[in-house]
Amino acid sequence: MCGIAGYSSSTSSESRTFIVRKMTDAMAHRGPNSDGFFSAGNITLGHRRLSIIDLSSAANQPFSDQSGRWTIAFNGELFNFKQVKSALNHINFKTTSDTEVLVEALNCWGIDAIRRFKGMFALAAWDHDTAKLYLVRDRLGVKPLYYSFKGKELLFASELRAIMATGLLDRRISNASLQQYLYYQSIGGEQTIVEDIKQLAAGNILEFSSTGVEINSFWDITEPEEKYSFTNKANTQKKIKTLLFESVEQRLISDVPLGAFLSGGIDSSAVVAVMREVSQSRPVTFNISFDEKEFDESIYADEVARKFSTEHHTIKFSPSDFLRDLPSALNAMDTPSGDGVNTYLVSKAVKDAGLTVALSGVGGDELFAGYPFFTRYLKLKKWKRLWSNTHLLRKYASSIVTTEKWKSLLNIKQTDIASVYPVLREVLSKNEIIKLLNSNSIAEDQLFLILNEKLKSICKFPSLSQVSIAEYLGYTQQTLLKDTDQMSMAVSLEVREPFFDHQLIEYVLQVPDEWKYPAYPKQLLVESLGTLLPQNIVHRKKQGFTFPWKHWLRNELKSFGQQNIDSLCDRKYFNADSVRAQWNAFQTGDDSTKWMKLWLLIQMEYWLTKNRIT
């Protein structure tokens, strides 16, 4: 895993390299093994390398093909590069890296070669013959890519802070993005928290030349590359098992030590179980344990580890451990997020144990209807006709219910996924955001606009899969995957997610609801794996990986929280009285003020101060 950066301008090669070096230095944690630079024409590329496959210096980047036409800076892993390599048998390869296969594929098939690869990647490819630069982001947005285009100049990098480190942009907060962050604990669409920086959307190619910028999609989750028909449930389960086994096996390729996160839940246990099946090596697994029993899942992780005979490590976290590492976790945050600290701490523990690559079970809930709101959406759809005829009744009900989510839900006009999903995923409602901000207007909800634009295509899928698609376009891409990348790469750890294999996803999204409906947690996944998973792991109460924030914010983290709340109240776009009132109510034991809402504000203020955002 790596970090990439680049700058196109009419300035000298030396000046551009100076700027690009600022960017690569700002994300040296993404690639501590080497750095490299390349300049031609008006473009300079930079690269930081975390060596995973082919550890030799011959595989360092930027990397050019043997003809000299293409030069790339590449971040990620191509899990099927050996298959693509076999189709390039006319090439005398100099390395065993996936990077060389990628650049030779570009020379053979042009930028459309991207479609041949499976993996997680963000890359910059310079075509010397046409003087065009291509920026590409993988299908599901596992790897990030940010850019800023002004006039005829283009900056891009794997991290937001790298672009800010150039000093070429004003560090102005985007008010619309701030509202999105308060809605969903992250920022979706193409916007970022910084006014002049955008993120390239998943599955997109940005083409940059002397005529400007053009962006096109090479993959759309609502338009699968292969269509399937379903007539036999047993055959469907067999196909899912085959695809998952292939996905895990492909993600085991590595020339450095590799392990897995193991929470003891269905998803991580499934990944570890398949690792044991497809590899002769004994899996190395890691679990985070807490003194607070309501958050501790170590007993289940231990059971799974024993069943599959893994080399298991339990890492115990106390409040003092957390407080010690919290500043490092917050400093590692490239872009504000409500849930990233968890990922940082477990990633750091795994890295400290000597591993460079870890497999994760994230993505199983989103694909196999693992959250309660999947079935809630089915119930709402049954009320579609009744919903449209009860506007006045719902309006009255919304005025007397006490929870903000129910108020928001009762006020939606329709029960389609574009209207329902944003409410199911909101952290703060519009009313709460208006109270917190010195503003009477709310910007357009980018998540709603994205879903509404694709609504016709989404509605072609089964209802449970419509929720999955909304998850991939919303929380999964903008929070889950972003947190996983920024927090694991902060400690130079590569995390691979087998449930984010696009072929597995395309297949499962087309499975009928009646075969996917979770009569018990993730029933289709469990049945597809047969007897592989222990029954008490399958049927235990779902906990989710979280820390005891509510307790800590009222005790060990109270002073830290107070300091940042006070600082936030000095910012003109926040309503100081409202913010302080909520913090004080929480501290007096009022549980109607959720800890998550306050933690969002605390993290935001810490990030704004650290990055000198105005």
Strands 146-150 and 153-157, bridge-based pairing:
antiparallel
> Residue 184, SS3?
helix
How much is the mean pLDDT over the chain? 90
What pLDDT, on the 0 to 100 scale, is given for residue 15? 95
Class assignment of domain 233-365+479-534?
alpha beta
User: How far, in Å, CA of 456 to CA of 239, rounded?
Assistant: 28
- CA 420/CA 310 separation, integer angstroms: 42
What are the pLDDT digits (tens) for 544-554? 556 678 888 99
Where do the domains of the chain lie?
Answer: 2-217, 233-365+479-534, 372-473, 549-610
Which stretch, 138-142, 388-392, 406-410, has highest mean pLDDT? 138-142
pLDDT tens per residue across span 125-164: 999 999 999 999 999 999 999 999 988 899 999 999 999 9
pLDDT cut 90: percent of the chain above it: 70
Cα 82 from chain centroid (whole Å): 26
Mean pLDDT over residues 373-382, rounded? 87
Least confident range from 44-48, 181-185, 467-471: namely 181-185
Residue with tokens 């993005």: 177
Q: Is 108 a catalytic residue?
A: no
**8 Å CB contact between 577 and 568:** no
266-278 vs 233-250: helix axis angle to the nearest 10? 70
| Confidence category of residue 594, pLDDT binned at 50, 70, 90 | confident
pLDDT confidence of residue 545: 53
Asked if the domains 2-217 and 233-365+479-534 are classified in one and the same CATH topology, the answer is no
Residue range 53-81: average pLDDT?
93
pLDDT at residue number 395: 63
Across 101-105, 225-229, 434-438, the highest mean pLDDT is recorded for 101-105
- Residue 359 to residue 126: CA distance in whole angstroms: 32
Mean pLDDT (whole number) for 395-401 = 60
The strand order across the sheet containing 119-127 reads 63-64, 70-78, 119-127, 132-137, 204-209, 212-217
User: Identity (one letter) of the amino acid at 183?
Assistant: Y
**Structure confidence by residue, pLDDT tens digits, 337-357:** 877 887 888 898 889 888 899
Amino acid 298: pLDDT: 82
Long-range contacts of 440-444 (CB under 8 A, 24+ apart): 442/179, 443/175, 443/176, 443/179, 443/180, 444/176
- pLDDT at 263 > cutoff 70: yes
Instruction: Show the beta-strand stretches assigned E in 187-234.
Output: 198-199, 204-209, 212-217
Q: How far from 390 is each of 385, 414, 416, 421, 422, CA to CA, in Å?
A: 9, 11, 16, 20, 21
Identify the active-site residue in 2, 108, 459, 569: 2
Q: What is the mean pLDDT of residues 477-489?
A: 93
Kindly provide the residue ranges of all beta strands, DSSP E only, lying in 318-386, ordered along the sequence: 357-359
pLDDT the model gives residue 316? 81
Which tokens sit at 352? 């400290």
CA nearest 225: which of 203, 253, 257, 193? 203
- Taking residues 208-236, what's their average pLDDT? 94
Mapping DSSP to helix (H, G, I), strand (E, B) and coil, where does residue 592 land? coil
Residue 605 has pLDDT above 80, yes or no: yes
Among 1.10.10.10, 3.60.20.10, 3.30.450.40, 1.20.810.10, name the CATH number for the domain at 2-217. 3.60.20.10
User: What average pLDDT does range 583-603 have in this prediction?
Assistant: 91
- What pLDDT is attached to residue 261? 93
What integer pLDDT is reported at residue 401 of this predicted model? 64
Q: Which two tokens stand for residue 393?
A: 């009744």
In this predicted structure, what is the pLDDT of residue 590? 87
Omega before 372 within 30 of 0, i.e. cis: no
- Over pLDDT 70: what percentage of the chain? 94
Contacts of 32 (CB under 8 A, 6+ apart): 48, 50, 492
What mean pLDDT is predicted for residues 81-110?
95
Confidence of residue 205 (pLDDT cuts 50, 70, 90): very high
The predicted-structure confidence for 434-465, as pLDDT tens digits, reads as follows 999 987 778 888 999 999 999 999 999 999 99
| pLDDT the model gives residue 391 | 62
For 65, phi and psi rounded to 5 degrees? -75, 170
Phi/psi zone of residue 34: left (φ > 0), alpha (ψ -120 to 50 degrees), beta?
beta
